[in-house]
Amino acid sequence: MSGEVHNPHDKFFKTWFSRPKNLIPFLETALPADVFTLLDVSTLDISDGTFIDEEHREHFSDLSASIQLQGREARLYILVEHKSYADKWALLQILRYMVQTWTRDARTEAAVPLLPIIPILFYHGETKHIATGFSSLFGAGYPDILSAYRPDFLCEIFNLTTRPDSELEAPPQLSAALWAMKYARTQTDLALRALSRLAGTMDRMARHDPAFKEIELYLLASSSLTPEELINTINQLLTDNWLKEDIMSTAEMLIARGKAQGKEEGKAEGISQGISQGISQGISQGISQGKAEGELAEKLAIAKRLKTLGMPLAQLCQATGLSEEEIAAL
């Protein structure tokens, strides 16, 4: 059902982790312990990740936040970039966002020193190995002495694709979200089992938390299974009746939405093809009609000249292909 929601990976990531209650446990998982303990998580402020460059073009980071250090007035930025596919230049993109952040601050608060930025790359694409250091983007073969002239920075790489499942045992909701992002496309059954485990830790009131429904929607929208395969998998794997009914209704809703969208797209395509064919036929008919009218006008002009020279009617008809009535009307 991967085609039902446009880019479900980005949509889910931004919606889910834009909430402090979800971002904080992720930061605890993604950052080294001695770095995370420096942060006063009660001061976390998630901000708009929009940047305007010198050419007035907008750029959007996936997640940008600021946070205060424990026991200090000092603040720093946290920048999280999400990739659901292998992007060779992801670290270059992160560096651009970092520079744009500092440039924005330098313009608005020129007297204030720049704030440090902790960048994190969240990756869950099919390719297992990705660039983990900015310096790796430069070509080899240069003398070591020149390495000091190229920029480099530490970026925490959260590679969910290669991360062992044993390290996904975070708080229940975060764990279910990570399992869904890791396996929804390739092994839907594992993601469903994780969702079932989450449901088992929740009372009925908590199960109506919108965050739970978001995981369901993402899992179903990202799955590579056909609608029939997905429903069969749900029936076979899930034993919790409430969860089975809830996720089945969500799946049926997405299937119905997909069918309706397909009908609308088919109707629009049919109308578009009809318009295109009508235009094409109209142009073709116009050209043919114009050509015929031009040829007739030329024949009439020739017949008129020959008639003034006294050519007999029978010979005029034979020479021009016109009828006697057409020539008589000249």
Residue the block writes with tokens 């992160």:
94
Question: Regarding predicted confidence, which is higher, 60 or 88?
Answer: 88
- For 182-193, what is the mean pLDDT? 90
The C-alpha atoms of residue 68 and residue 88 are separated, in whole angstroms, by 32
N-terminal to C-terminal alpha carbon distance within the chain: 72
Q: Is the pLDDT of residue 3 over 80?
A: no
Report the alpha-carbon distance of residue 143 to residue 121 in Å, rounded: 29
Tokens encoding 4: 């039902």
The confidence band for 263, taking pLDDT boundaries of 50, 70 and 90, is low
Give the start-end residues of each E strand in the chain.
39-47, 50-52, 58-60, 63-69, 75-83, 117-123, 156-159
Q: Sheet of 75-83: strands edge to edge?
A: 39-47, 63-69, 75-83, 117-123, 156-159
Choice among 153-157, 245-249, 315-319 with the minimum mean pLDDT:
315-319
282 pLDDT tier (thresholds 50, 70, 90): low
Residue with the bigger pLDDT between 100 and 263: it is 100
Q: Which two tokens stand for residue 142?
A: 């240069």
Question: For position 34, what pLDDT does the model report?
Answer: 96
Give the CA distances from residue 287 to residues 276, 280, 284, 290, 294, in Å, rounded to whole numbers and listed in that order.
17, 11, 5, 5, 10
Helices 241-308 and 227-237: crossing angle, nearest 10°? 180
The answer to whether 269 touches 238, Cβ cutoff 8 Å, is no
Please say if the pLDDT value at position 273 is more than 80.
Answer: no
Distances (CA, A) of 100 to 53, 97, 236: 7, 5, 50
Alpha carbon 306 to chain centroid distance?
Answer: 73
Residue 136 has pLDDT above 50, yes or no: yes
| pLDDT level of residue 284 (50, 70, 90 thresholds) | low
The lowest-confidence range among 115-119, 140-144, 297-301 is 297-301
Q: What percent of the chain has pLDDT over 70?
A: 80
Q: Are 206 and 199 in contact (CB under 8 A)?
A: no
Average pLDDT over residues 198-205: 73
Question: Is 46 in a helix, a strand, or coil?
Answer: strand
Pick the range with the lowest mean pLDDT from 17-21, 60-64, 203-207, 321-325. Answer: 203-207
| Contact indicator for 202, 187 with CB cutoff of 8 Å | no
* Confidence grade of residue 143 (pLDDT, cut at 50, 70, 90): very high
Against a cut of 0.75, is the pTM above it? no
